[in-house]
Structure 1
Amino acid sequence: MTSQVRPVRLLRGWRRKTIAAVAAVIVAFAAATARVLVWPVEWTPPKADAIVMLAGPGDRLPVALQLAKEHRAPVLVVSRGWMGYGGLCPPPTPGVRTICFNPDPGDTRGEAEYVGALARRNAWQSLIVVATRPQAVRAQLIFGRCFGGLVYVATAPLHLGDWPYQIPYGWGALVKAALTVRSC
């Protein structure tokens, strides 16, 4: 009779350990998602050389224009790339030069390449990049590869309906940026 009790206890212990391990992975993934994609570290300096608004979903333009109105930088660079913000080049902000561009390729890397070249021509040392929260860490990583100065990120709100798509897309794009496309 003891031989039958022992395998059942081992099986129960194995199930408990498996469930605990799966729960730990789920909690760790949720915490990493919260830290990296939902609430990334955000801080913008009082002054930078340029404000760069990336294309894509979310209400980025009001954030970029507010930073420009606060004269956080003398230049506002607006990407009209793939899934641009949906309008023409924004109206000028007094005292701030506005540059609009279409990146090639039309993604964050294309935006970083264009801005990196622009920064070298203008001797910029710091940027405030306007992105959505799921894009913030990835944008900072990619811009850091194409720009030798300091890269700060200001996040714009994302519509609630965009989150279910942006979380898996954000993880996939971040893994791709970190592991496969490592150059500017």
Structure 2
Amino acid sequence: MLIALAVALSAFLGLTARYFVWPRLPVLPPHIDAIVELAGPGDDDRDRLATQLAREHRADYLVQSTLSSDAESGRCLPAPPGVTVLCFHPDPDTTRGEAEAIARYAREYGWKSVVIVTTADHAWRARLRVTRCFPGQVYVATSHLPPLYWFRQIPYQWAASAKAELVQTTC
């Protein structure tokens, strides 16, 4: 019984590490069509990373998923020269809603590739959701998640990932 428990715990920890702590991500190409910052914990570092990628001219569009009040007023990330900044509030206010919005923007602006800016714990599920809605290339860049958030985010991401895999299997 103890051996089975040790094996199950090791498998759980291994999967947690693989999918939520150190996800395998493809290398970002030099240029993609859009940088899309998803909302969630660690927003300040996401803002920094998304803006840094835009300042490096990695994309022509910088898009931010944000609060309804910010989206309506146009209070988005600062626009680096030569980069168009867009912001939106997803409906529903979930990763699935963000993926649907990315697909709409992609159709409207002709995007063939995007990089999603999120945290490591969210990377696998965010990529899954976006690839279900958007037929182009999807890359992920991860920002820092404050240490105190990990205790809440790991169980949340397990539950949300199970829901994405077993219940909500389409865009």
Q: Shorter-chain TM-score category?
A: over 0.9
Instruction: Give the % identical residues.
Output: 50
Matches within 5 A, 1:111-130: 111-130=98-117
Matched, 1:153 2:140: yes
Deviation at 1:120, TM superposition (A): 1.2
How far is the alpha carbon of 1:88 from its aligned partner?
3.2
Residue 22 of structure 2 corresponds to residue 36 of structure 1: no
> C-alpha separation between the residues in 2 aligned to 1:118 and 1:127?
11
Question: Equivalents in 2 of 1:175, 1:117: separation in Å?
Answer: 25
Q: In the alignment, is residue 49 of structure 1 matched against residue 36 of structure 2?
A: no
TM score, norm. by length of structure 1: 0.86
- Give the residue type in structure 2 aligned to 1:73: A
Structure 1 stretches of 4+ with a deviation exceeding 4 A read none
User: Given that residues 35 and 50 in structure 2 are in contact (C-alpha distance below 8 angstroms), is that contact kept between their aligned partners in structure 1?
Assistant: yes
Q: What does residue 26 of structure 1 align with?
A: 9
Q: Judge conservation of contact 1:81–1:107 (CA < 8 Å) in 2.
A: no
RMSD of aligned Cα (Å):
1.5
Q: Distance in 1 between matches of 2:145 and 2:161?
A: 18
Aligned 8 A contact 1:81 1:106 in 2: no
User: Please, which runs of 5 or more residues in structure 2 have no aligned partner?
Assistant: none
**Where in structure 2 are the equivalents of 1:69-84 lying within 5 Å?**
69-81=55-67
- Paired AA for residue 68 in structure 1: A
Structure 2 length normalisation: TM-score?
A: 0.92
Question: In 1, Cα distance between the equivalents of 2:109 and 2:86?
Answer: 13
Structure 1 residue 81: Cα displacement: 4.4
Tell me the number of residue pairs that the alignment of Structure 1 and Structure 2 aligns: 164
Q: What does residue 96 of structure 1 align with?
A: 83
Please identify the structure whose Cα radius of gyration is greater.
1
1:143 — aligned with what? 130
